[in-house]
Amino acid sequence: MSNLRVARFEDHRRRALKRNYDIFLSRIVYRGTEIFPGLEVKLTPGLSVLVGRNGIGKSNIIRSVYNKFVTDSSNRSKFTLPLVKDVDCKVSVRFKNNVVLDASGFLFDPCGLIPSVQELFLSQENIEELVESSGLVELSEEELRVINFIVGANYSSVSVASIEEGFEKFPVVPYFKVVISDREYDSRGMGLGELSLFYFYWLITYMSKCDGARVLFVEEPESFLPPAALDRVLGFLFKVGDEQGIPILLTTHSERILGLVPRSHVRVIKNTIDGVRCSEVVTANEPLRVLGLSAVKRGILLVEDSAAEIFLKILINLSRTHSADSFYYVKSGSEGDIRKQVKCFPDAIDGFRVVGIFDGDMRDAVSGKEYANTAYCFLPGVIAPEKLLMEYIQSLKVVELAGVLGMLPDRVIEGLERAAGRDHHDFFVEFSKEVQRGFQDIFTLVCSHWAKSNEALVNIFLKELERYY
């Protein structure tokens, strides 16, 4: 029996992103073509996600690559629009153990496909004859349970006919008839979101029965769907990657999808002075910025002061899954205030959680049964962040520190002389005054340089924080 728990889908997600695939689309190159001259898209094993503003060409990329994998098993025929049909596109494919396999492409494009499919049925005068000749098959109890989960409904009966003739663009088209609350209707009377989810279920089942290697192309799966339904679709996509080893090339505008995919699997398509180009994601919030979206807030982080907040934001921006914009920040004032405040909040509500972020020098003070049910972690090191960073810049040569701060070495010496002997709480304040630069500017640059030089400590901290999210 299929395990449809949300926690199980998270297991599928982790495994799908890590597993070894039999087929890997490694690179797409466009040469001598009108719409994408010189564009090169480097992909990742398993799931690759393309993001970009409307009109940048994501659909043409998906369709031109899909055309390379159309076979008799595919659910849609080749695209024949000139911009796609005539594209000079080369797709590099790698195979596990160098065993070359025949590969079939499959397309899930709700925005373009679902209205067309419904219109086909609405325009057919002999639809009943087509359905009867194809054979209408009622889903089993287990299959019904799965479709009810995907759609978020309670159908008492669902039947499907896979029609394999009569439609030029669609070699095979599923037709559905359902019963819910004693009401019966079919694909012609479904809403676009409902029909999209039914088609998605059918396509996943259809692919599983096809021989050879398979590649799934997904264009903006969020179309017509509310967030809860999209979550279930994503869960099944990860399940397909995990259990069937099917690589997926997906485009999206959804921050919900981007929040579930490591940035190493995301590629940004954008206009440059050299034309349309593809780049890897540098920061976790870059795809959202490109799309004009704001990061989904995952929680509230309680810190002691401004220095801890700056340090924390630098560290989070190095995460593979989050950005500094993913959280709200509260400067509690002291470690005692963090203790009081973090105990006032319940466990996570819909993934949103309050976490206390203590300075590193609080590791021995914050522990034991008193904090057993409290969400908290510690900044890197075993001392306060200002002290950690003060000792760090004091270990650098003047010329190197000048390069980090973007100022003349003589100016750095003057700043160090003024701050010499100061308590770590005052060190950066006095240094900033002398060099006539803001505290936040100076401290941010130093934090960034420290983080790049201490990758192991940064990763340990991020792992501790991300267990709550």
351, HSE (Cβ side, Cα atoms, 13 Å): 12
For β-strands 23-30 and 40-42, DSSP reports them as: antiparallel
Q: Are residues 436 and 394 in the same domain?
A: yes
3 state SS of 147: helix
Claim to verify: residue 25 and residue 170 sit in the same structural domain: yes
Q: Report the percent of the chain where pLDDT is more than 90.
A: 61
Does 34 map to a domain? yes
Q: pLDDT by residue (tens digit) across 39-51? A: 999 999 999 999 9
Examine the domain organization and report whether 280 and 426 are in the same domain: no
Other Cβ atoms closer than 10 A to 304: 23
Q: Which of 312, 294, 295 lies closest to 303, judged by CA?
A: 312
At 306-316, the pLDDT tens digits run 999 999 999 99
Helix (H) or strand (E) holding 457: helix 455-466
Sign of CA dihedral 169, 171, 172, 175: positive
**DSSP-assigned letters across all residues of 314-344:** HHHTT-SS--GGGEEEEE-SSHHHHHHHHTT
Biggest CA-to-CA distance, the chain: 91
Range of lowest pLDDT (200-204, 276-280, 284-288): 284-288
Asked if residue 1 belongs to a domain, the reply is no
Burial of 287 (0-12, 13-18, 19+ CB in 10 A): buried
Q: Which of 339, 370, 268 is nearest to 53 (CA)?
A: 268
Task: Check whether 166 has a pLDDT greater than 70.
Answer: no
426 within domain boundaries: yes
User: Which pLDDT does position 310 carry in this prediction?
Assistant: 96
Lowest mean pLDDT of 12-26, 91-105, 183-197, 398-412, name the range. Answer: 91-105
Q: Is the pLDDT of residue 286 over 80?
A: no
For strands 213-219 and 173-180, give the pairing.
unpaired
- Structure confidence at residue 156 as a pLDDT band (50, 70, 90): very high
pLDDT band for 1, please (50, 70, 90 cuts).
very low
The single-letter code of the amino acid at 300 is: I
Say what the pLDDT of residue 2 is. 54
Same domain, 331 and 342: yes
Among 238, 271, 290, residue at a domain's last position? 290
Residues 86-124 pLDDT 10s: 778 889 888 877 766 789 999 999 999 999 999 999 998
Higher per-residue pLDDT: 98 or 359? 359
In whole angstroms, give the CA distance from residue 315 to residue 300: 16
* Tens-place pLDDT, residues 62-94: 999 999 999 999 999 999 887 777 778 889 888
Q: What integer pLDDT is reported at residue 212 of this predicted model?
A: 87
Average of pLDDT values for 182-200?
A: 95
- Sign of dihedral through CA atoms 433, 438, 442, 447? positive
Q: What is the CATH number of the domain that holds 278?
A: 3.40.50.300
Shared domain check, 358 and 343 = yes
- Quick one: 170 and 241 in the same domain? yes
Structure tokens at 442: 């100076």
| Measured CA angle at 45 (ends 44, 51), to 5 deg | 40
Same domain, 24 and 100: yes
Last residue of some domain: 290, 318, 342?
290
Asked if residue 97 belongs to a domain, the reply is yes
- Which residue intervals of 347-408 are DSSP H helices? 385-395, 398-405
Among 290, 307, 335, the domain-final residue is 290
Q: Is residue 371 part of a domain?
A: yes
| CA gap 407, 431 in Å, rounded | 13
* 384, 350 contact by CB (below 8 A): no
pLDDT, one tens digit per residue, over 22-32 is 888 999 999 87
Residues 431 and 461 in one domain: no
- Tell me the residue range of the domain where 324 lies: 299-380+456-466
78 and 69 in contact (C-beta within 8 Å)?
no
Are both 247 and 328 inside the same structural domain?
Answer: no
pLDDT reported for residue 261: 84
The rounded percent of the chain whose pLDDT value lies above 70 is 94
Find the mean pLDDT for residues 399-423.
95
Please determine, for residue 445, whether its predicted confidence score (pLDDT) is greater than 70: yes
Question: Is residue 194 located within the same domain as residue 309?
Answer: no
Q: For 369-390, b where at least 16 C-beta lie within 10 A, e where not — what string? A: eeeeeebbbbbbbebbbbbbbb
pLDDT at residue 11 above 90?
Answer: no
The pLDDT value given to residue 427: 96
Residue 149 within any structural domain of the chain: yes
Could you tell me if 319 and 414 lie in one domain?
Answer: no
In a domain, 405, yes or no: yes
pLDDT tier, 258 (very low <50, low <70, confident <90, very high otherwise): confident
CA distance 363 to 193: 50
Q: What is the mean pLDDT of the chain?
A: 89
Please check whether residue 423 lies inside any domain of the structure. yes
Please count the structural domains in the chain.
3
274 and 363 part of one domain: no
